[in-house]
Amino acid sequence: MSTPLLLVLALFLLILYFKYSRKAYEEFWRHLYAIPGPKLWPYLGDLNFFESSEALWKVDRKRSKEFYPIYKLWSLNVGMVHVFNPDDMELILSNSKYNQKSFFYSLLHDWLGTGLLTSSGEKWHRRRKILTPAFHFNILQEFTEMLNKETLLLVDNLKPMCSYPYVNVIKPITEFTLYSIGETALGVPLREDPKCNEYKQAVYDYGEHFIYRATRPWLYSPFIFKFSDIYNQYCKGVKALRDFSTNVIEQKKKLQNGMSYAQSKRLALLDLMLKAKADGADIDDDGIREELDTFIFEGHDTTSMSICYTLMLLANHKNIQEEIYEEIVSVIGPTESPTYKDLGDLKFMERCIKESLRLYPSVPTIGRVATENLETHTGYIIPKGCNVSLGIFDMHRSPQVWEDPEKFDPDRFLPDNVAKRHPFAYLPFSAGGRNCIGQKFALLEIKAVLCGILRNFKLEPYDRPEHLVFKADLVLRPFDEIRVKFEPR
C-alpha cells in the first residue's frame, strides 16, 4: 500500500477512535465545549504545535486577553481549560482536592521523577515533611554568610565588564545562583565542577524539548516519542542532568567522610535527605536524586531569571534604583556584609522585588487536574479529569485585576494596598498547600545579590521592558538576552 493511502487510512482510523472516545465521555466534552475559546480544527483541535516557541507565547497571550477570564483548548483527545481570574485561582489553589498536578507534569518524569514538584497524594506529603526543615529560619540565617561570599565573587566577575557596551546578565547571574545552591542547600562546592556548563545547557535544551513534546499530543506516548526527531538529543540531555545530580550526591557523601549527622553543625537540604534515608525514612537513593534534581533546577533557574529581570527594571528606573541604594546604605552601610536581619529590614527593596515578580513571574503558568466537576466563578463547569492551566503571568498583567498593569510600581506592595487586593491576585510562588517551599530562600538570595551589585555599580538601561520578547518554556525565559550596562559606583 502506498504512503498516501496509509496516511489516509491512519487519519480515518484516528477520526473513528476520537468519535468513539468522545461518545464514551459525552459529559466531559459537553462541559468543555460550553466554555468559550478559539476556533479549533475538527477532531485535531489546536494546531499551534507548528509554531515556534516565540510565536506560541504570543498566541497564548493574545488568547488570554481575548477570552478573559477563561477559555478552553483541546488537541486530539486531551482537553485543557485556561483560567486567570483571582476568584478561580482561589477556588482551585485553596482546596486540597485539586492538589494533583496536570498531565503535562508527567512529561517531566524522565528528569525529575516523582519528586516534590510532580508527585501527589501521600508521597508528596511525606516528601514535603522531610524537606520543610531545610528552609527553617535558623538554616536561612546561616545561608546569609554564604550568599554574601558568592555575591562578592559575582561582583569581582562583573567589575571588568564595566568597559563593555552591555552585559548579558543571564550567564553571570545563572552561575551565581547555581554556585549559591551548591554552597547553601547542597553543601557541595560547584564552582570548580567542569560539568556545570553542560548542566546549564542541558536545562535550556530540556525546556525546548518539553515545549516541542507538550504541543504535539501524539508524542505523549513514550513509544511514539522514541521515533521523534528530538528523541536522541532529549535522552542525551536527560542523562547529563541526572549525571550532574548523581555526582553532587557522591561528592556530598565523600565530604561527609563517615561523620554522623548528629555531629553536623547544620542540616541543609541534601543533608536532611541523606539523614532521613539513614534513619529509615521512606526515601531511597532514587528519591534523593529526584528531589535534588527538582531543587537544583527550581532553585537556580527560576531565581536567576527573577534577578535578571529585576536588574533590567532597575536600570530603566534610576530613581527607584537610587532609592534602593540609599536604603541599603542606611540599613547596612556602604561596605558591611548584610546580616539576615539586615536583609529583612530592606522593606523598599522587597517591594521592588515583589513588583518585579508580578511583571515577570519566574513560573508563568502552573497546572492542576479537576478531580471532580468544578464550577468556576463565571458559572462554567470544568469537567472532572480535565487539565487546568492557571495563567499567573496573564493574571499579573490583566487590567481587570491590576490598574495600569504594565507599569513598574513598587507602591502596589505597600501594606494598605496589599490589604485592599484579592489575596489570590498575586501568585509568583503559587499558593495553598503546594506553594513554593523555597520562596523565603529565593527572596533572601535576591536581596543579598542586589545589595552587592547596587553598592558597587550603577545600572544603565540597554534593553527596555517593552522590547523583551519571550518564548514558551518551563520558566519565563526571553527569546534572546537581557542586557544591562554596568558602571562603577
DSSP string spanning 291-342?
Answer: HHHHHHHIIIIIHHHHHHHHHHHHHH-HHHHHHHHHHHHHHT-SSPPPPHHH
Please report, to the nearest 10 degrees, the dihedral formed by the alpha carbons of residues 307, 309, 310, 311 taken in order. Answer: 90
Are residues 317 and 141 in contact, defined by beta-carbon separation less than 8 angstroms? no
Distance CA 335, CA 190 (A): 27
User: Phi, psi (5° rounding) for residue 160?
Assistant: -65, -20
* 267 SS3 class: coil
Distance CA 118, CA 106 (A): 7
Q: Which residue has the cell 472532572?
A: 384
How is residue 107 annotated by DSSP?
Answer: G
CB neighbourhood size of 52 (10 A): 12
- Helices (H) and strands (E) counted in the chain, each on its own, are 20, 11
Which of 294, 85, 284 has its CA nearest to residue 203? 294
Q: Which residues contact 20 (CB under 8 A, 6 or more apart)?
A: none
Half-sphere exposure of residue 34: CA atoms within 13 angstroms, side-chain side:
14
Half-sphere exposure of residue 486: CA atoms within 13 angstroms, side-chain side:
24
For CA atoms 407, 410, 416, 419, give the dihedral sign: positive
Helix, strand, coil percentages in the chain from 3-state DSSP, rounded to 5 = 60, 10, 30
* 106 SS3 class: helix
Question: Is residue 386 a known part of a binding site?
Answer: no
For CA atoms 248, 254, 260, 263, give the dihedral sign: negative
Output the 3-class SS for 46-60: CCHHHCCHHHHHHHH
Which H or E element spans position 374? strand 374-375
Distance CA 440, CA 434 (A): 15
Q: Name the grid cell of 297.
A: 533546577
CB neighbourhood size of 345 (10 A): 16
Binding residues for heme: 436
Binding residues: 436
